[in-house]
Structure 1
C-alpha cells in the first residue's frame, strides 16, 4: 500500500509545475532524517510481512466466481470488530487490515513486528491463519478471502467479473476492459491512475505473450477487444498497434496493481547493515520470483509466462514516447522545466539498478543510471557518499504523480510527505527505507519480488526463509555480488513458463568473500542454487541449516523450521509444483477446456473452488503441497479455537 495522505489532489497540469518543488523538499526531508539517524545503531532484528487477499464471491447455483467490491464496508467491519480469535493476544499483537488498489483487495499485517527468534518465527503461520479466519468470520456467505496473485478473468469481456457487475470505462483509466469503479475510491488511487496516463500521453500498454495450445489461432488476434467503442480519444489505441498479435492485451493500471503479492520488511541494526542486506538480497530477487510463480492467466487467457512482474511494470509505466525511445527527445513534453529531456530505460516499477553498500564491486554496478544531477550534487555536498547519493538521484529522476494542495508546503523537519511521494512510487524489487522522523523505527529493507501463495503455510515458509537468509548473509558474510545487468536478465527468465525446469540463472560461482576465481559467474538451475553444488557454492538451504545448527534450538523448534525449509527445497527442485503450474494443469485437464487458451467462466469457477478446498485442507494435492498439509491446517484451526470454515 502506498502513501495514503488525505487532501485535494491537484490537476495534472498544476501538479507538473510543482515537480521541482517536491523533489527539492523531498531531498531536504531525507537529509533531516539522515542527520538525525545516520549514526543510529543497535536496533533489534525485527520484521513483518504484508499479505494481500482478493475477496471472491462464489455463486454455487450459477457456477460463477467474481470479485467482491465491498472493500470499504469489509474494512470498516474488520477494523472495529471484536473476535475470540484475538482474546488471548496482547492488544499490540492483533493484526491490522488495510486497503489496497482494487476494491476487491485487502492487505493484512501483523499487529507488531516479529523478531528473528525461533519462538517468533514459529508464530508466523498461526498469525497469518488467524488473520484469514478473522476475515472469513466477517464476510458474507460465499465470500472468501483468497491469496491468489491475479484474478484469472479480470478484464474479460464475455461475462461480468465483479459483484456487482460493472461496465468498463471511466475517466481515470479509460480502459476498454476495466471499470474505474474497480479502483479504491480513496482519491490517491484514481488520481494516480489518471496521471500515469496523462504523463505518458497514452494509456498504458501491457502485452503478455499468449500460450499457444493446440487450437489457439496463429496468429492470435484477440476477438474480445471492443474496437467499436468510441467514448474516449484513447479508444482507438488498440486498433492502432497497442495490441500486439499473439499477445494478451491490457490497458490499465488495475491489471498490475490489482495483483496480490507477499512482501517482507526487516529492520537492520544500522544504515550500513541495511545497505549490505539490500545488496545481498538483490541477486536473490529473481530466484524468489520464479519459485513463487503464481500468475499464468490474464483476461481469461492462458499466458506463456508464469509471473506478474512485467505486467505490473507495464501497468504503471508513465514514460513518454521520447523517454521510452520511440520518439525524438526534441518532442518530449516539458513536464519538468528544471530538467533536460532524457531517455529512461525502465518503468518506475522494475528491478534494482544500483548496489548501495560501500563495499560493492564497482564493476557489478554496470547499469546506466539516469540521475537528477542537481539531487546528486546536493546530497554529495551534504556529505552523503556517492553510492547512496546516486541511488536517491536515480529515484528522484521521476516525477511526483499525486500532489495534494494541502501538503505542498510542509515542515521538512517533521514531515516526510515529499520524500515518500517519490520513494513510494519507485516500486523496485528491493526498497531501502530510512527511519520515519521522530519514531522508534530504524533503517529497513523491503524484499518485494514474491508472488502471494495460496496457503498461510506457504506464505509463512517463504517469509521465514527470507528472514533467515537475511541473518545468514550477515552471519557468514556471504558474497552474492554479480553484475546487475545479469540480475535483470534473471528477472526475465524467472517469469518464463515453468522456469524451475526450463531456465538457468546467472549467479556467482563462489559465495565466500574474497574468493579467487577465474570465472566469477555461472548459470544454474533453481535446484542447484537452493540445494548447492560444492563447497564454493553451498546452496541457500544448506547455509540456512548451517546457521540454525549454531543456534540453541529446542528439538521441536528445529523440526518445525526444517519443515518450512524442506518445503522450499521441494519447490526449488520441482518435487512440488508452483501455483502457476498447478493452474495450468487444472485448465488443461478441465472437461470444458477447448485447448484454445481460453479460460471460461465455468473453468474459472471450478479452479477457484478447487483452490479454496486445497487451502482449507479439504482436498489433498501431494504434488502441490506436502501430504501432511491438510492435517496441519486442521490442527492449527483447532489451536485457534475455531471450527473449520
Structure 2
C-alpha cells in the first residue's frame, strides 16, 4: 500500500484507502494467484541467499559527551557508492526506512557451497566501511499477535504504554497476552542483520520456512547479539507445509472472501 498515489501528486490517506480497501485486497489476491500458477512448478538452480545489514548513523559529540542520530544518509550513500573496495566481495549500499539509516547487501548472492560461505565474512567486513508511510500506517489498523506461552511465561503480561505518546483508549486497549503492532515503525526503525533466501522450488521454500520458524528465536537468544534478559516471542498460526499444521500454536484466521477466491482458483 505504500506505493498508492493520487494523480501522481500525493499519497492517499488511510481514510481514502479505506473506501477502496476491499477491491485492493481482491486485486492483490488475483495477482498472487497469477504469479502462483506461473511459478509453482518452476525450479531454480539451487538455494541462494544474502545478508542485509542495517546501520544507524550517529553523530558523536565528544566534547559534550552526547550521541545523536545523523540524518545524512543521502550524502553518505553517495560517498559509499564511489568507494573502491578493490572489487573484493563488494557490497551494494542503499536506502533504508529512516533518514538516519543505510543498508548494505552483497552484489551477488551466496550459495550453499564452501567457497561461497567462506566469502561471507569478507563481504560483511567491507559493508562496515518516510513520514507519509508512517502516518498512513498509524491511522490504518492495529494488529495484536498472541504471545507464545510455555511453562515459564506469565499469563498477565500487559504492555505499559504510559511512557509513550499513546493516551486514553489506546492505552486502555492494550490487551494482556498480546504483542501490539499498529504501524510499520514497530520494526522499520530497528537495525538488524537479516538474511533473504531464494529456495530452489516451492516445496523447499515451505520446508525452510517451517524449519527456521522455531530455530531462529533459539539461535538468536543463544548468540551474543541478544542481550535482553526478558523477552517475548509471538505465536505461530500457520506453518507452510500442510503436514506441519499440527504444530500451529493457535487457529489460523482467514478472510472468507479472499480464501474462497484462492480455493476457486486452485491456489491453496
TM-score clears 0.5: yes
Counterpart-to-counterpart distance in 2, 1:19 and 1:277:
32
Give 1:122's match in structure 2, choosing from 118, 122, 125. 118
Q: SS where residue 53 of structure 1 aligns?
A: strand
**CA deviation vs aligned residue, 1:401-449 (integer Å, no higher than 9, x gap):** xxxxxxxxxxxxxxxxxxxxxxxxxxxxxxxxxxxxxxxxxxxxxxxxx
**Alignment: residue pair count:** 242
Q: Do the aligned partners of 2:220 and 2:226 also contact (CA within 8 Å) in 1? A: no
What is the Cα-based RMSD across aligned positions, in Å? 3.4
Q: Indicate the residue corresponding to 2:98 in structure 1.
A: 102
Q: Indicate the residue corresponding to 2:253 in structure 1.
A: 370
Counterpart-to-counterpart distance in 2, 1:94 and 1:16:
44
What 5-or-longer segments of structure 2 have no aligned partner?
145-159, 175-181
More strand per residue = 2
Where relative contact order (Cα < 8 A, 6+ residues apart) is larger, the structure is 2
Counterpart-to-counterpart distance in 2, 1:384 and 1:222:
41
**CA deviation vs aligned residue, 1:87-112 (integer Å, no higher than 9, x gap):** 334xxx63211222222111111011
Give 1:11's match in structure 2, choosing from 10, 13, 17. 13
What 5-or-longer segments of structure 1 have no aligned partner?
134-188, 205-220, 227-233, 244-250, 297-302, 311-349, 386-645
Q: Tell me how far 1:129 sits from its aligned partner.
A: 0.6
Q: Do the aligned partners of 2:14 and 2:139 also contact (CA within 8 Å) in 1? A: yes
Counterpart-to-counterpart distance in 1, 2:121 and 2:3:
28
Q: Indicate the residue corresponding to 1:275 in structure 2.
A: 206
Give 2:237's match in structure 1, choosing from 353, 360, 371. 353
Q: Indicate the residue corresponding to 1:262 in structure 2.
A: 193
1:34 aligns with 2:53: no
Q: Indicate the residue corresponding to 1:144 in structure 2.
A: none
1:384 aligns with 2:267: yes
Q: SS where residue 353 of structure 1 aligns?
A: coil
Q: Tell me how far 1:3 sits from its aligned partner.
A: 6.7
Give 2:221's match in structure 1, choosing from 290, 293, 300. 290
Counterpart-to-counterpart distance in 2, 1:355 and 1:240:
32
Structure 1 segment 496-535 matched on structure 2, within 5 A: none
Structure 1 segment 114-153 matched on structure 2, within 5 A: 114-133=110-129
Q: Do the aligned partners of 1:43 and 1:267 also contact (CA within 8 Å) in 2? A: no
Q: Tell me how far 1:270 sits from its aligned partner.
A: 0.8
Q: Tell me how far 1:76 sits from its aligned partner.
A: 2.9
Structure 1 segment 91-490 matched on structure 2, within 5 A: 94-133=90-129, 189-200=130-141, 236-237=167-168, 254=185, 256-292=187-223, 294=225, 305=230, 351-360=235-244, 362-385=245-268
Q: Indicate the residue corresponding to 1:609 in structure 2.
A: none
Q: Tell me how far 1:41 sits from its aligned partner.
A: 1.6
Q: Do the aligned partners of 1:46 and 1:115 also contact (CA within 8 Å) in 2? A: yes
Q: Indicate the residue corresponding to 2:67 in structure 1.
A: 65
Q: Do the aligned partners of 1:102 and 1:254 also contact (CA within 8 Å) in 2? A: no
Q: SS where residue 369 of structure 1 aligns?
A: coil
Instruction: Please identify the structure whose Cα radius of gyration is greater.
Output: 1
Q: Tell me how far 1:48 sits from its aligned partner.
A: 0.5
Q: Tell me how far 1:4 sits from its aligned partner.
A: 6.7
Structure 1 segment 527-606 matched on structure 2, within 5 A: none
Counterpart-to-counterpart distance in 1, 2:188 and 2:70:
16
Q: Indicate the residue corresponding to 1:74 in structure 2.
A: 76
**CA deviation vs aligned residue, 1:376-399 (integer Å, no higher than 9, x gap):** 1111121223xxxxxxxxxxxxxx
Q: Do the aligned partners of 1:43 and 1:270 also contact (CA within 8 Å) in 2? A: no
Which 4+ stretches in 1 moved above 3 angstroms? 2-8, 234-243, 251-256, 292-296
Counterpart-to-counterpart distance in 2, 1:222 and 1:25:
37
Give 2:53's match in structure 1, choosing from 51, 54, 70. 51
Counterpart-to-counterpart distance in 1, 2:48 and 2:235:
25
The TM-score normalised by the length of structure 2 is 0.76
Q: Tell me how far 1:122 sits from its aligned partner.
A: 0.7
Q: Tell me how far 1:286 sits from its aligned partner.
A: 2.1
Q: SS where residue 242 of structure 2 aligns?
A: coil
Counterpart-to-counterpart distance in 1, 2:203 and 2:105:
26
Distance 1:240 1:288, change over 3 A: closer
